[in-house]
Structure 1
Amino acid sequence: MTRASKLPRAAAPIRVALVEDQAGLRDSLREILDGSEGITCVAACVNAEQALAELPGIKPQVVFMDINLPGMDGVSCVRQLAGVLTETLFVMLTVHDNSDAVFSSLEAGACGYLQKPVRAADLVAAARDVMAGDSPMSAKIARLVVQAFKRPVPEKLPKSAEFELTVREREVLDLLVEGFLYKEIGEKLQISDHTVHFHIRHIYSKLQVRSRAQAVAKVMKR
């Protein structure tokens, strides 16, 4: 084996797409992403219709979606794309900071929510964070989600096909909705971190979500 072959292989860049109708902003965001190490912008769509036509064939890993698009809005676009691009992660870009828009987006399939104007560093960090399993959110948006965590949680979750959870999974989900960290959940239920992650993976699968924020949005709506 040669010395060169022993060197670690560089990670492939994160494949990111944009859906933004404002030409100047779209070009600026694309330039920021393409100029960032480990990220490449593979598509920049002007509206939802173009995104629905092109992105399924491109299969980006992350999509930054403007919520206010001409024609079909960003929430509806994410809802349709999420059904086709099951491995793609969606982050909303918007001027709105109301709870209805936030939770509609999260329920549709978004994993993060950034408020405009978006700083270059926040945009790049969001692409990396969402790939690492986080739910990037602007400060105002995060406060809305925290407020939702603090709302009273029903003693019993609805008994529907989506919520056919075991007793332990329901206990874990209750604590997730209340805003407890994974480590805190383990301590409260006296189970290991590994077991907490095991239950959460099953909960996300049964609820058909990919993040804590989406799980909370679905439970809150029900």
Structure 2
Amino acid sequence: MTKKKICIVEDDPDLRDAMGLMIQYTQDYELSGSFKNSEEALENIPVLSPDAILMDINLPGESGITCVRKIKSKLPQVLILMCTSYEDEDKIFASLQEGATGYILKTEGPAKIISALDELFEGGSPMSGSIARKVVASFCNFENKKLISEGLTAREQEILDLLSKGLMNKEVASILEISQGTVRKHIQNIYTKLHVNTRVEAVNIYLKR
């Protein structure tokens, strides 16, 4: 059976070497190349045309997220697994939006990384448990806000958003250039539509806390 070619993009030399050895010791994969930054990766990976890439995010120069986008524009078929220490939601979604197929944490260890590669080639999108929970929570929060927005007018959404930032009626009125009485009327409509009785309840629903 032909081994799948894997490239590594990781700036830490010890970790890069360790990951390279990890790949070489497997039966199904072979190390096609390892690179310390985005520039090296972009110069060599399109020529090597690997089957998959293990990609760090925090690289010197261009980030791994930018590298993902540029590599996918040249090799749209390549599978990219983010292998990083970041659990930041912005970085998770930015990576996936740019074309990464999976996202795991370095702390998971060698066995998890190899298992994630197996899952990639089986058609899956491997993620560390904590990352998957963040993705699900973010999706649920988005759907919750979407449902709220469908029931509220644009002005009511504006007011609820300002209330969620801790602003008082007087401040909301000043920002939106309307009277405090109008603000109170909108808030009462928000309460009715969300089936709540207090500002705290309305804001909690909006923020899904």
TM-score range, shorter chain: 0.5 to 0.7
Q: Where does structure 1 differ by over 4 angstroms across 4 or more consecutive aligned residues?
A: none
Structure 2 CA distance for partners of 1:152 and 1:78, relative to 1, 3 Å: closer
Calculate the TM-score normalised by the size of structure 1: 0.63
Q: Secondary structure at the match of 1:24?
A: helix
Bigger share in helix: 2
Counterpart of 2:18, as a letter, is: S
* 1:64 counterpart (54, 57, 64): 54
**Count of matched residue pairs:** 145
Q: Judge which range, 62-71 or 90-99, deviates more.
A: 90-99
Residue 93 of structure 1 and its aligned partner are, at CA, apart by: 1.4
Aligned match of 2:126 = 136
Bigger relative contact order (CA 8 A; separation at least 6): 1
Query: Following superposition of structure 1 onto structure 2, how do residues 7-46 of structure 1 map, counting pairs within 5 Å?
Result: 11-46=1-36
Q: Could you tell me which residue of structure 2 aligns to residue 176 of structure 1? A: none
RMSD: 1.2
Q: CA deviation at 1:145?
A: 1.1
CA distance, structure 1, for counterparts of residue 63 and residue 121 of structure 2 = 24
- The answer to which of 73-82 and 127-136 deviates more is 127-136
Q: How far, CA to CA, are the matches of 1:147 and 1:91 in structure 2?
A: 21
Q: Could you say what secondary structure the match of 1:96 adopts?
A: coil
Instruction: Tell me the amino acid that sits aligned with residue 81 of structure 2.
Output: V
- Structure 2: where are the runs of 5+ without partners? 148-209
Q: Percent identity?
A: 34
Scaled by the length of structure 2, the TM-score of the pair is: 0.67
Unaligned runs of 5+ in 1: 1-10, 156-222
Cα displacement (A) at 1:152: 4.2
Matching residue of 1:82:
72
Distance 2:93 2:100 in 1: 9
SS at match of 2:107: coil
CA shift for structure 1 position 40? 0.6
